[in-house]
Amino acid sequence: MSDQLPYRPDPVRTRWEPAMRLALAEAALAPATGDVPVGALIFGPDGTVIGRGHNAREAVGDPTAHAEVVAIREAATAVGEWRLSGCTLVVTLEPCTMCAGAIVLSRLDRVVYGALDAKAGAAGSLWDVIRDRRLNHRPEVIPDVLADACAEQLRDFFDGHRE
């Protein structure tokens, strides 16, 4: 008899895997313009996509054109206001400090991310801006959803640029 327990997937993370696959597809659009493959989707309270974005800094020459910010802008336009209460952001890479600030300010309820960003992450790795107790709004954070697939997409991009 084995001493190991059977593998039981985390139901919270598993629930977000289909959404993360959509974010991975969005991220795959970024390298066509030389941008790092990061993709983001915002789901409204009813589960429909109301915002999407992929990194576009190179494409538009805008340092704020991170996938999350692009998706937040589109979602705010879709709902007709800046408050995105009841909405969920799904992004392939842990948000940076700029994006974490935008997430808090837009009042998103939840952030689901894939790969950890040990160099610039602000949702639990290097910093935890999103859940800072000093802020007036703290979204729920669900990390590590399809983390390996998200990290692999980034690794493949950077490996291709180092050759």
Put the strands of the sheet holding 39-43 in their side by side order.
49-54, 39-43, 88-93, 110-115, 140-142
Residue 6 corresponds to which amino acid?
P
Cβ 89 vs Cβ 114: under 8 Å: no
d(CA 67, CA 61): 14
* 74 is annotated as an active-site residue: no
Nearest in space to 33 (alpha carbons), one of 81, 84, 67: 67
DSSP class of residue 88 equals E
Annotated active-site residue in 26, 68, 74, 94:
68
**H/E segment holding residue 117:** none
> Active-site positions?
68
